Structure 1
Amino acid sequence: MLDPVVAFFQRIFSAIGRGIGTAVAWLLWPFVTATNWCRERSWIIKGPIGIGVLLLVGFYAYFIWQTQVWSGFNPDYVNAYNLAQRKQDAGVASGTAATTPATGEIAEPAPKTCVRSAIVDVTADLIDYNVNQNAWISSMLLYKLGLFGLDWDRTPWFDNKAAFQRGVNQTVRRTAVELVDALGRVRGTSGINADLQRARGNMQFDEETWYFRSNSILPTTPTPNYYRTAIADLRKFNASLEACDAIFDGRSDNLIEFLDRISNDIGSTSAIIRERSEFHNGGWFDTRADDRFWFAYGQLYGYYGILSAAGADFDAVIKARGIEPLWTESIKQLRSALNIQPAIISNGREDGWIMPTHLATIGFYILRVRSNLVEMRDVLAR
């Protein structure tokens, strides 16, 4: 009675086995053919080919290492800044009072100094994390070549770190624009700070340039070099600010505008997450879910530091307007979102019970943070 059923399943599994064998043979055919061809050639031909193969293997080993090892990744990186210990807002002058020692002689006034901007420090350090502590993946040659010409973002492999870096980079670009347009000048009427202007320009450079481009035979400056220059520009601004030669305008309307821009930024990401989650919910088989997830995660990672720094730079405004509890809760929610670190990203249905829905989960945290930002903005605008 069971023989026909057993025979049926045997035929099914046999067909699957033949299909897998055919696919493997098709993938290995170029390598087997090349090996057989080289075996019949002299060492004059084998030598250069062997060296080329070794170099290619070395490049891929380096590429795999850089994409899988996340140096310096720390969801609690904000703690290193000791922002709670700061006593004054960014740009506020300190150390200007003269002192009278016990001898009764009038001492020289202490050198005038101003408080550095924590936003600028965190922004510079986020860029440093992306391009100095780690290799910038998006402009690496092997990343640009993809898998047999297929973009790595369309595969399940080697794109998570690149997407995360681009998410962090999005927060840096947004912050650099706000520093130039509002925070680094007085009411928009003073001149634009040259250091911030250069930093913004360098951060707007595209994310994928290698030493050569497809439309030119001349060498060019790769993306990471532009971003490294932006680090120097930002730190130069903060040095000028500390010497009271630059401006940080910590007014409430600037904070309102800053929160507006961040809210719009993560709102756009939320829309992308929603679209992918709603119309492409293929569970573990959605090969684009991982780069969507890690881009959003990188954005939250970056804004966790930048908004924590903004809390220190605008401390007086936050306390005066009574939004300190709401601000603290927003920071906690950002940190909670960083606890979501699945090994494999699944874009399952929201009502599914087999495959998880990581995109909907990260989207929920994004909406919570955005809701708090909008609420704080409304309170400040009253």
Structure 2
Amino acid sequence: MNRLFDWAVEFWDRLRRMAGFDRLAKSKRAADLADSGRIRRILYFMRPLVALVVIIYIAALVSRLTIIHGDDLGYPQVVLTADRPAVSPGTEAPDGGCGDSAVAAMSGYILDVLVNQNTWAPADPQYKIGWFGVVSFAPGPFFDNKASFQIGALRAVRRMSIEMVDILGRARGTSAADVDLQDARSSVQWNERSWIVNPFDSRLPLISTAAGSSYRSAIGNYEAYNAKLRRCEALYDSRSDNLFQLLDRIANEIGGMTDQLASRSKGDAWDVQQKAMVPATGNNRGFFDFRADNLFYEAHGLMWAYHGYLQAVRSDFSTVIRDANLGQIWDRMEAHVAESASLEPLIVSNGREDSIFTPDHLSAMAANMLRARANMVEIREVLNR
């Protein structure tokens, strides 16, 4: 029986050889091996190429969306020690011409840091795409702090642009608002997420001016306004009641940011009715609250901008501050603002205030901001006497 089976197999093999099937099978196997080798060679060269592309992409993310250039606390001196007339804005200098505004110059410099020395991250396509278009960077711990910092600084610029138009750059009720200041206000109010093309955001026009370009144009508006001041062709109203109003608006802005920090950091609160601690609006997740860093860096950017603005306000209103003997209070306010802006933990933690291992960085920021705000209230009280 076995011999019969072996003869049948041998006969079948002879038929296959006579028909040429063996040659076809061998050539197919050879072709498969050749294709397999070709694929292996392609993959051999593709793997490092793909790895290189990934490394370059991540390096671009780190460079464009993480590193903040020019955020040191010495930047106000660049503006205040520049070659500018040593007289109050709008006041005629002994050698001719008039003084210009340190506040306007500071606005231009802060915008230069935000959009010229750095990529404008909130509108950057890489930032808006997030993790491969699936998850945005905001809910996570990476690549969102720079955008939050810039948005916080922009809040201060927008606030000061409004006050420049409404109370500083005009004599209220007797003069029109300055055209350059109005243009600057309009430019900085442009949506911070706007890019040239916005196909995935229905709130923005499909084709638009990029936010960075809009803010960049405001720098020229502030320079043009200061040029008019130096030619004595524009107004800057540095009266004590205007300083009172300006500090009132800034204090309200800081108070609103402080409330956001407090709401996020408060994991437990005392309930008066139940006479017990109950869960509050925030949390105590410590290093695992990945939204806390967004809020912290927004407050950091806000105070970084006001660190420069308040020194510029002191320069523009030097006569009012000297006559009201506000020097010491103003020093304390500047110190508390700078201390707020100097907080830059490696990892932002939102733990309990009495925690040993997970500090509450949001409360630390809020405490310094409240001290600065208290000084502003104190200055307002002195000016209101």
TM-score by length of 1: 0.80
Matches within 5 A, 1:239-318: 239-278=227-266, 279-318=282-321
Change (3 A) 1:51 1:189: farther
**Correspondence 1:73 to 2:76:** no
Q: For residues 228-276 of structure 1, give each alpha carbon's deviation from its aligned partner in whole angstroms, at most 9, with x where no partner exists.
A: 0011101110111111111100011111110011000010000000000
Separation (CA, whole Å) in 1 of partners of 2:77 and 2:261: 29
Q: Are the equivalent residues in 2 in contact too, given 1:347–1:358 (CA < 8 A)?
A: yes
**Correspondence 1:236 to 2:224:** yes
Query: Following TM superposition, by how much is the alpha carbon of 1:55 offset from its aligned partner in structure 2, in angstroms?
Result: 6.7
Say how many residue pairs are matched: 329
**Correspondence 1:208 to 2:207:** no
Q: Which amino acid aligns with 1:118?
A: A
Q: Which amino acid aligns with 1:77?
A: Y
Q: Which amino acid aligns with 1:267?
A: G
Q: Which amino acid aligns with 2:306?
A: Y
Q: Which amino acid aligns with 1:271?
A: D
Q: For residues 302-321 of structure 1, give each alpha carbon's deviation from its aligned partner in whole angstroms, at most 9, with x where no partner exists.
A: 00100000001000011111
2:269 is matched with none
Matches within 5 A, 1:146-157: 146-148=130-132, 149-157=134-142
1:122 is matched with 106
Q: Are the equivalent residues in 1 in contact too, given 2:301–2:341 (CA < 8 A)?
A: no
1:347 is matched with 350
Q: Are the equivalent residues in 1 in contact too, given 2:79–2:105 (CA < 8 A)?
A: no
Identity %: 36
Q: Are the equivalent residues in 1 in contact too, given 2:187–2:217 (CA < 8 A)?
A: yes
Q: For residues 170-226 of structure 1, give each alpha carbon's deviation from its aligned partner in whole angstroms, at most 9, with x where no partner exists.
A: 110000000001100012430110000000000000100122112488532211000
Separation (CA, whole Å) in 2 of partners of 1:318 and 1:368: 20
RMSD of equivalent CA atoms? 2.8
1:323 is matched with 326
Q: Are the equivalent residues in 1 in contact too, given 2:102–2:313 (CA < 8 A)?
A: yes
Change (3 A) 1:263 1:86: farther
> What is the DSSP-based 3-state SS (H/G/I as helix, E as strand, rest coil) of the residue aligned with 1:170?
helix
1:194 is matched with 179
Query: Following TM superposition, by how much is the alpha carbon of 1:351 offset from its aligned partner in structure 2, in angstroms?
Result: 1.7
> What is the DSSP-based 3-state SS (H/G/I as helix, E as strand, rest coil) of the residue aligned with 1:370?
helix
**Correspondence 1:140 to 2:124:** yes
Q: Are the equivalent residues in 2 in contact too, given 1:60–1:142 (CA < 8 A)?
A: no
Greater CA drift, 182-191 or 331-340: 331-340
Q: Are the equivalent residues in 2 in contact too, given 1:83–1:309 (CA < 8 A)?
A: no
1:113 is matched with 97
Change (3 A) 1:263 1:83: farther
Query: Following TM superposition, by how much is the alpha carbon of 1:373 offset from its aligned partner in structure 2, in angstroms?
Result: 0.6
Query: Following TM superposition, by how much is the alpha carbon of 1:66 offset from its aligned partner in structure 2, in angstroms?
Result: 1.4
Unpaired runs of at least 5, structure 1: 1-38, 96-109
Please, which of 49, 64, 88 is the counterpart of residue 62 of structure 2?
64
Please, which of 148, 152, 155 is the counterpart of residue 167 of structure 1?
152
TM-score by length of 2: 0.79
Q: Are the equivalent residues in 2 in contact too, given 1:119–1:313 (CA < 8 A)?
A: yes
> What is the DSSP-based 3-state SS (H/G/I as helix, E as strand, rest coil) of the residue aligned with 2:138?
helix
1:106 is matched with none
